[in-house]
Amino acid sequence: MTFVAHEPGKPAEELLCIPNYNFDWQQAYEYDPANPKRLAKGAKIECIAHFDNSKFNPYNPDPNRTVPEGQQTADEMMYGFFFYVDADEKLNLEVDPRTGTAKR
């Protein structure tokens, strides 16, 4: 799975690449808050994923089955989520630098 940024007037930039993704690795990947990634207005994020539905994949229960999109783990369920914050957005929050959570 790979995430690529396409910013206007710039070459494509790879943001994240997980070459041998494992289904058991369903976790979040974050940029270091001390070195945030800033994207220009109009940037587009592309998520690319490839699946091995062949008989050579030991985790494929039935290589002869057509794999439909669905919510079950035996279905095709690639969802690439990308969360961001607008740098100019005023959220009226004070964040605790020790925990990263909003103070009340």
At 46-90, the pLDDT tens digits run 999 888 888 998 888 888 988 888 887 777 777 888 888 888 888
Which pLDDT score is estimated for 83? 85
Contact between 55 and 63 (Cβ < 8 Å): yes
- Give the contacts of 23 (CB within 8 A, at least 6 positions apart): 59, 73
Using CA atoms, how far apart are residues 54 and 67, in angstroms rounded to an integer?
Answer: 11
Using CA atoms, how far apart are residues 61 and 72, in angstroms rounded to an integer?
Answer: 13
